[in-house]
Structures are given as structure tokens and as C-alpha cells.
Amino acid sequence: MIDGHCHCGRVGWTLHTEPEPDWLTRCNCSYCRRSGALWAYAPADAVTLNYEPEDTIRYIRGDATLAFIACARCGGTTHWESLDPANRPRMAVNMLMAEPDAAEGRRIRLFDGADTWEFLD
């Protein structure tokens, strides 16, 4: 089990399983490179979200397949949720919101979300 939360603590999540796949993703798309996120993916039912809806900002852009969730107070991007009903219910949590040892030793893959939509390794 891994817990994470924004800087002020209002928006948090608990990951109840190991990330799927077993690596973390750093993406260079226009949003991720600005938020500095390090994503761990999991089935939506393996993540407990700990916040009140009014404490968040939901940002939906482009093809409207993802909603990025950030704290309305401190601005930390904590996770994203899939909005694509054809996609299996999954989400990603920002591992930079967890204690540093939660990401320690995990492989980090670079994803080209800006151009090719492929991993760069």
C-alpha cells in the first residue's frame, strides 16, 4: 500500500496494489512536463481517493480522455482519471506525492506524449 497527497494535504490517494505495469512513467506532453509528474498506473478500483470534490481542480483538455486532478489550494497534481468509456477503468497517481522511498528502485520509462506517443527507451 502506498499513500500520497498534495503539499497541503487536502487531496490524497492510496494505492492498494503494485503499479501496472511495474514501471513509472515520465511523460513529456504539454501538461506532464509542466506538472513534473511521475505516473504509476493502476485499475481504478485499486485506488482510494481521499478528498472532498470542492478541494480539487479537474482539468480536461484535448481529446477529453483524461481528467487531471490537482489541489485547489496548493496546486499539486495528484492523479488523473480516465474519461474514455472504451478504455478499461484505470487511472494514474503521481508518485511524487508519495514519500520518496515509494518510488526508490523502480524503473522510470520516458514516454513521448508530445510527438510520437511511444516510449523512448
Residue 64 pLDDT: 87
pTM for the model stands at: 0.93
10-residue block means of pLDDT along the chain (121 residues)? 98 96 94 95 95 97 90 98 82 97 95 95 86
Residue 7 pLDDT: 98
Cα torsion angle, 104, 45, 110, 119, sign: positive
* Residue range 2-119 in CATH 2.170.150.70: yes
Nearest to 95 by CA among 32, 29, 28: 32
